[in-house]
Structure 1
């Protein structure tokens, strides 16, 4: 899930996410169902610079949330040359700006 294709120290991200889920479940008084099975999605679109990370992640999350059939895992399972274009990132910027502009000045 790393858009810059850097790898964290062996399993570090899994520990971070597992602990985050445990904390969330404890906060919501939910019992954890079972151990999470993590899957490496080597074909996620690669981020081509170091300046669009926030927008890139929002675009990535949007694609997952809007995937009603949960086909994104199969789509990104194998290594590909997919990238988000500047147009894709600009769309996220515009949607974000439109949402933020709706809040009145404080």
Structure 2
């Protein structure tokens, strides 16, 4: 799934967190990504979507290590695939999606239309730009925040929303994200139900 072997375990506590809809971490998201990858392989669509391991995105002050990791992941993926990057800002999960042409970066945030983490935006843009330069294309990628997605009502649903966004993208035959997540969704919240 990431171009290398990854082993992770869910503890009983991790399962209970999901059942009780408490705050989740990267282990739960990583296992869910494995489920989605298995689904993609079973439907012969694994080459259309690639994933970035959220545990391998180092939190550095300047972001250069993270940018290089993103560039390396894009290089290892199929050039015609979209890339899903779940990222925890330290207190909140967001989903970053890089389109198949690697020139547009989308952000899905369950807290609405407010990109409060400009450092992450810069890190991802630099990673995509590094990848494009490696391919001989010095183009600067564009960054768009998509707003037509499920929101969180409380303070712990962000990880669940990120998993839902990934599921919707993986199950979608037409990967036109701007059309899929267009507009503004009102009163649609991720709930335990």
TM over 0.5: yes
- The 1:60/1:75 distance shift into structure 2, 3 A limit, reads same
Match of 1:67 among 157, 172, 182: 172
How far apart are residue 66 of structure 1 and its match? 1.8
115, 119, 144: which one pairs with 1:7? Answer: 115
Change in Cα spacing, 1:73 to 1:32, as seen in structure 2 (3 Å) is farther
Structure 1: state its 5+ residue gaps. 88-106
TM-score w.r.t. length of structure 1 = 0.57
User: Following superposition of structure 1 onto structure 2, how do residues 64-103 of structure 1 map, counting pairs within 5 Å?
Assistant: 64-81=169-186, 82-87=188-193
2:135 maps to which residue? 31
Residue 70 of structure 1, CA deviation:
1.5
Which one is further off, 11-20 or 47-56? 11-20
Q: Distance in 2 between matches of 1:66 and 1:30?
A: 31
Query: Which ranges of structure 2 fall in alignment gaps of 5 or more residues?
Result: 1-107
How many residues align? The count is: 83
Which has the larger helix fraction? 1
Change (3 A) 1:18 1:32: farther
Match of 1:50 among 130, 146, 155: 155
Q: Is the 8 A contact 2:160 2:190 kept in 1?
A: no
Query: How far has the Cα of 1:3 moved from its partner?
Result: 0.9
Higher mean alpha-carbon deviation, 14-23 vs 29-38, is at 29-38
Structure-2 change in CA distance of 1:37 and 1:22 (3 Å): closer
What is the RMSD computed on CA atoms of the aligned residues? 2.9
Q: Distance in 2 between matches of 1:69 and 1:35?
A: 25
Residue of structure 2 in register with 1:20 after alignment: 127
Q: Is the 8 A contact 1:46 1:84 kept in 2?
A: yes
